[in-house]
Structure 1
């Protein structure tokens, strides 16, 4: 008997604007690169991506085309393009979470800036005393010092004298050290807030003319021979520039072609706090306490296109507009950093927890996106704790701050369902924002130390690892005065894993306890002769899916808090190994409610008992953790409530039904259009496809 299909009742052309060119994309518009769109549907975020194949309409576009334009507006609200995000899993190179024992210490204040020239590392901040590792006595060094990269020994020949804190360090093409901060005099001579120093002696480079006359410098970024500065200034080199400026990095001369001015604080003092320029030099993003840039509304975040004459980009977001806890946080967008390939950037924030705003979050955005009301590609919530620094390096998003948890969408100053313990430091998968297994923490304290663990102010990639600057005395459970280095040596690489990507292979379907029916499948329409395979380890099983060489499966267990757990087994040669509990952070998640599930590109897609929707959560194979937020995939023409078992095979969702038949429907990762569904097997005389346990594997 055929299952009924839901057929679209309306048909009209819906329009989407191309994220960079502004051209209209209509249903059927040829595109060769995956595009992602976010919408609000019924008060919930949903995602749409256009087809990855030229000449083929994606389900996202077909789904939009099935709505009349007025219905589209009424259903979705404002369409928000989110750029050309690539969700293919990538290998990530993680540093060791154990900080080296060869970094020096600062006695007081904080460390907020690092730079490196040759075998010398420079550190700046508000400290006044430092010492080499193992030294018994402190050496007076106000705000800036240098040390040997290998041993941590202080370089005493480098002895500049500043009368105020250092906030930013950079190196120009001539190998001079550029210093930004809140000072008036350097080496006894007036040099307001910006100076170039000899990297060996700390002497002022007299020929370098840059200075910030009207206020402190918070950030310095060198790209080529451009020096970008940001802060609370209004004059640079005697020329009016508000909060942002660009100089010749070699000479310090102002660049008159850069006419980008930020202004009008939300409350308190206007300033740009965080700044980064993409490695390819084409895009600048600044964050801080401002609401206008060149007269355009840009609340806390602005993007500037740097190719040719710098201009404010057609890019804005509403996610940093809400005041959040404005009495304590005049602004809350704290730092920004681009990926190594310039394709995306990540913004971190403090500010208190408010639904719908990006206070106390980490959010990824795509560099190529253009439009208004732009949402993050993904957002990681701390649950009411501050994130103050971000560094994207080697396909890892490192974050630091004053937080206790990540993946804490459901918590409010406490650990909600799904929360993952991360105290002050975290490393995220750039594909889905989920925490990787990297947890230095800031716990414990040696006798006599003070201020253990308030805030990590700075994360910075050096040649040997990730440097951290903070205002406390510890990292990784060890004494580290105000600074630490997490080394690449001793780190690891997380492999890029995904659902099986090749055909032909095999469909496995449950039925009898401890057994699986194995059916050859060419990935198109041909099913081979089935065989029954004994699987003594697979008992009390529900939904199941393969990620690389592991089988994730729901196992009923009365001792589990929710009555079941997400078990993990090795799956090699068609054999299911003994299961283990995937993660200590997933007790809240009850997979027994799933009617079927599959993994694809950092997400676990699934259906649930009694629900007629397709859902997804993020899933992180490095640690086997499940995302705290649930999302709904736009669908039409498929009765998900009758689906039993789901798997993904070569661009299609293959699913069984309660009546025992097997179907396939195209899936582009974002939306499902049942009009293109095909039946693969009626299931009356052969294999019964009504089991929740259905997965695809290549062996």
Structure 2
């Protein structure tokens, strides 16, 4: 909980903000709180990703696993040779070195993916296992190391398949969450382990078997196509699962695009929480008829979440916005409203990462604090603040902080992960804060400044 003294100090700061090798086994840490705003210049010792896009970054101890659509990486030091890696690689952030022994062979269902092909859907999500000796990987692939593995796999740190785990999913998995003895899997699928399952399922983390007590299908698409889960996040305290995607019903309960699930940790049956809003029921631009929410992320203290999305400029909506929502017990019931919101005026937010000192939001946005651009959007309206491709917002107010490294916008920053010593930003572009830093920008906590 933040103290009243910090809340009063932020008023004074607001004006300024508006101006201006694998090694031993590791244990996955709790979500990093980060009590400072990270530095703006990226560390140059971490690896570089030479093509494609980064969709997922997971960290445990000194190990970082990166997933996406890429096929080529190299160590950060000048003169390092390129290394082939299809959709996933592992590195040690203490040394900056790629773990060469971790090189699993992932392939997709189409003939074009029998070789190294960039920009296939690839790896969408990664979670380290509690044993620190393996990781769960999910996405579009249908084989790993020459063996059938349908879109979810557990890998050892040497890239081999973990014995005893086997799950089969019939379509793309977009996200994973590991919490309280559950591996929760969400995406575009309709069957898991040969049984009908609608887009959201809980698996046994040891075996991959379906856990039947988790029965919350996502149904009732917002458009003429099938529903899907886009993103989800489990609260650090294990109580909540926030989900986002193309749906209007969760289980038997009406929820549009965003829902909160009470996980009932400790043996209870998960259920839809008494928490809902009408804000995501509205339509944005026609091209986003299915879903315009792209990211949900819960704070380190499990008290609130930030929802970010796309949609184009539509007045008096949350299209192209990031918004803070309080979780129970602070806020519950129906027709809820956000604590704060920031709008880009016409550009997409792809992802959000909440820390104690800042809410980092990435996309291909040009501005924030921009609710009144010219008619049609895509312009800087009164009070707007330029923040190309990434922004740090104050957690209490949503005001943009003076932190402003800037990055080549491209499609956008689609993965942001906070660790104890870095904010790791993954994208599809090559320059961050004016420095060549291909697709992976590690921003150090050391040297960071406190948010007053």
TM norm. shorter chain > 0.5: yes
Higher-RCO chain (CA-CA 8 Å, sequence separation at least 6): 2
Give a deviation string over 1:193-239, Cα, whole Å, max 9, x none. 1000001x10011311233x221111111223222221111222233
In the alignment, structure 1 residue 218 sits paired with structure 2 residue 174: yes
Offset from partner CA, 1:354-373 (integer Å, 9 cap, x none): 12321100101110122222
1:357 matched residue in structure 2: 317
Q: Say if 2:351 is the partner of 1:389.
A: yes
2:389 is the alignment partner of 1:424 = yes
Name the structure with the higher strand share: 1
State the Cα deviation string for residues 302-351 of structure 1 (Å, max 9, x = none): 11111121111222211112221122563111001111111100000101
CA distance in 1, matches of 2:302, 2:361: 18
CA displacement, residues 237-275 of structure 1 (integer Å, 9 cap, x when unaligned): 233321111222233332211111102322244211110
TM alignment of 1:185-584, pairs within 5 A: 185-199=143-157, 201-211=158-168, 213-267=169-223, 268-307=225-264, 308-328=268-288, 330-368=290-328, 369-411=331-373, 412-443=377-408, 453-495=410-452
Distance in 2 between residues matched to 1:298 and 1:169, nearest whole Å: 27
- Between structure 1 and structure 2, the one with the greater Rg is 1
Gaps of 5+ in 1: 1-32, 34-51, 53-85, 444-451, 496-699
Cα drift, residue 459 of structure 1: 0.7
Q: 1:95 to 1:442 in 2, by over 3 A?
A: same
CA distance, structure 2, for counterparts of residue 317 and residue 88 of structure 1: 29
Deviation string for 1:482-531 (max 9, x for gaps)? 21111101211122xxxxxxxxxxxxxxxxxxxxxxxxxxxxxxxxxxxx
Aligned residue for 1:181? Answer: 139
Deviation, 1:462, is 2.2
Counterpart pick for 2:36 among 59, 84, 93: 93
Contact 1:173 1:225 in 2 (8 A): no
Q: CA separation in 1, counterparts of 2:177 and 2:239?
A: 13
Conservation of the 8 A alpha-carbon contact between 2:164 and 2:206 = no
Determine if contact 2:357/2:451 at 8 Å carries over to the other structure: no
Relative distance call for 1:224 and 1:314 in structure 2 (3 A) is: closer
Secondary structure of 2:174's match? strand
TM-score normalised to structure 2 length: 0.85
After superposing the two structures, state which structure 1 stretch, 117-126 or 180-189, moved more.
Answer: 117-126
Output one character per residue of 1:405-459: Cα deviation in whole Å (capped at 9) or x when no partner.
111112221111111110011111111100112111015xxxxxxxx63311111
CA distance in 2, matches of 1:476, 1:265: 40
SS at match of 1:252: coil
Does the residue aligned with 1:492 lie in a helix, a strand or coil?
coil
Aligned residues: 402
- Whether 2:71 is the aligned partner of 1:128: answer yes
For residues 27-70 of structure 1, what are the alpha-carbon distances to aligned partners after superposition, in whole Å with 9 as ceiling and x for unaligned? xxxxxx9xxxxxxxxxxxxxxxxxx9xxxxxxxxxxxxxxxxxx
Alignment correspondent of 1:157: 101
The structural deviation recorded for 1:118 is: 3.4
